[in-house]
Structure 1
Amino acid sequence: MVHLGQGTPNNACERDLRPAVVQRKVTNGYRAMWAAKGEADVRTVVATAALKTKATPFATLLTTITA
């Protein structure tokens, strides 16, 4: 069902998940849970910063790590 003036409901969410899915497929997943959690943490920080501040991923990670 499509309503005028509204986008596809899941399109933005699916676009946000795409880099993580591609990373998982390219690397054949993670063998250690800590590696998967680390990747998720980094992606969360970078994605949130991109939404809020339009900062570069490197600058955001550097600020987060040195805080």
Structure 2
Amino acid sequence: MAKRLPLERQLASILAASSSCDLTQALQAKIGRAREQLLTFLDHPGQVAATNNACERAPRPAVVRRKLTNGYRAIWAAEGEAAVRIVIDTARLTPDRTIFGTMLATVSA
């Protein structure tokens, strides 16, 4: 309850703030409709997360595959691009080398 009161006051201030912006008014209306649900995590500590990060971090398998392959249909093409990106990113982290110098050192190894 000690944490809830300050958050409720802040929420009330947000909802009471006047604005001539339509987007702000729409956001305030949405927050007002969800007001009781916004602080549910305080009523059930350890049972309800304060954020939906777990849901955001659990994308569908198809999305994961598309991201891993960068949209390539052939796995070898995605692996080839990944290898090139690794070399380029390594070059960016190595201040005394150019990207081409790092690529040359990589292919010459």
| TM-score normalised by L of structure 2 | 0.32
Computing the radius of gyration from Cα coordinates, the structure with the larger value is 2
Higher relative contact order (CA closer than 8 Å, sequence separation 6+): 1
TM-score (norm 1): 0.49
